[in-house]
Amino acid sequence: MVVNCYFDKESAALDDLLNLYASYDPMLLDRLQLVIVDDGSPLKITPEKLPLNLAFLRIMENIPWNQGGARNLGVVYAPSEKIIMTDLDHYFTESALFGMLDRKVPRKVIYKMPRYREEQLVRHHPNTFLLCRSRFLELFGYDEEFSGNYGCDDAMFVNWQYMMGTSFRWLPEKCAVRLRDFDVERETHSLVRDREQNLELLNLRTKALREYGPGAGHSRKFLSFNWETVTSSHRSTINQNTPTSFWWRFRLQVLGRLNRRSNRYT
C-alpha cells in the first residue's frame, strides 16, 4: 500500500492511521507492506515503531502538490506487483484489505472502489486504485509536470492509462475505501488549491493525446527530485502458510530432487 503525506502543521494523522493498521489481524499484516512517502514536508516527522512492514521515505525538496512524484517513488520502492494506492485521509477496513490481497494481480486493469463516509456511500475517490506495479512503471506512472500546482494529475493519469489500453473496473462493496474523520487541510497542511494552471496543462496534454497519440501525451518526467529512506522495518514474527496438500508436497519433493541433482554437476 502506497500512501503519500505532507505536513506543515503538527498532526497525529499519520500515527493514528498506522496504529489502526497495526491493530489488524497478524495474518493480514504479514502480507502487507506499507510505503509512506513524505512529500517534502517542512515538519520532519518520523512514524513511531509499530509491528508493521513499513518503509518511510522522505522527498528532500518541498515541491508544492508533488503527489504524483510521491506516488511514483512509492511504487518504485514497493516490493509487490499488486499495489493499493490512496491518500492519508482514507483507510481500508481489515476485511477490505483481505479482499484485495486475495485477488489476482490486475495486469492491464486498474480497479476503482466505492467510498464511504461512516456508513454513507459518497462519490468515489478519483485517486484511490488497486493496480499492477509493472504496468504502472511501464507507462511512466504519474506525469510529474503537474507537480508544483494543484489538481488534474489524477485525471491525466486516468486519461493516459485509457489511451495506452488499460481498462478500469470496479471492486465490490466489501473492498470499499473509507474517509477518515478529520479535515486533512485543517489538520495537516495549508497548501492552496488552485486548479487553473493544471487545468490548462491537462487540456494541452489531452489535445496532444488525441492529435499525436501516446508519444506526445506524457512528459516522461519521473522522480525529478532527491529523497531519502528515513526508516524501514519488518514484522519480527511472520506466519508462514506451509502448503499441506498432497499436490504441494509432491511439487516440493520434485523441486528438492532436481536441486540436489543439479548440485552434483556444479
73, 141 Cβ separation under 8 angstroms:
no
Nearest to 5 by CA among 238, 231, 189: 189
Give the model confidence (pLDDT) of 241-264 as tens digits: 544 445 545 555 666 666 655 555
Q: Looking at this protein, which amino acid is placed at residue 222?
A: F
77, 146 Cβ separation under 8 angstroms:
no
- What average pLDDT score do residues 53-80 get? 97
3-state secondary structure of 229: strand
233, 53 Cβ separation under 8 angstroms:
yes
Domains in the chain: how many in total?
Answer: 1
The residues pairing with 116 across neighbouring beta strands, listed in sequence order, are 121, 178
- How long a stretch of residues is the chain? 266
Q: How far is CA 107 from the centre of its chain?
A: 15
CATH assignment of the domain containing 116: 3.90.550
Nearest to 32 by CA among 55, 16, 14: 55
pLDDT at 184: 75
Give the model confidence (pLDDT) of 182-234 as tens digits: 877 778 888 888 999 999 999 999 999 888 887 788 999 999 999 999 999 99
Give the model confidence (pLDDT) of 139-173 as tens digits: 999 999 999 999 999 999 999 999 999 999 999 99
pLDDT at 236: 87
The C-alpha cell at 265 is 554437476
- What is the strand order of the sheet 167-170 is part of? 167-170, 109-112, 129-132, 82-87, 2-5, 33-38, 53-59, 227-233
Domain range for 58: 2-264
pLDDT at 214: 77
178, 117 Cβ separation under 8 angstroms:
yes
- What average pLDDT score do residues 86-112 get? 96
Other beta carbons within 10 Å of 102: 9
3-state secondary structure of 198: helix
**Phi, psi at residue 24, to the nearest 5°?**
-80, 170
pLDDT at 250: 58
Alpha-helical segments (H) within 116-245: 133-138, 153-163, 184-188, 196-212
pLDDT at 260: 59
The residues pairing with 170 across neighbouring beta strands, listed in sequence order, are 112
Tell how strand 177-179 and strand 129-132 pair up.
unpaired
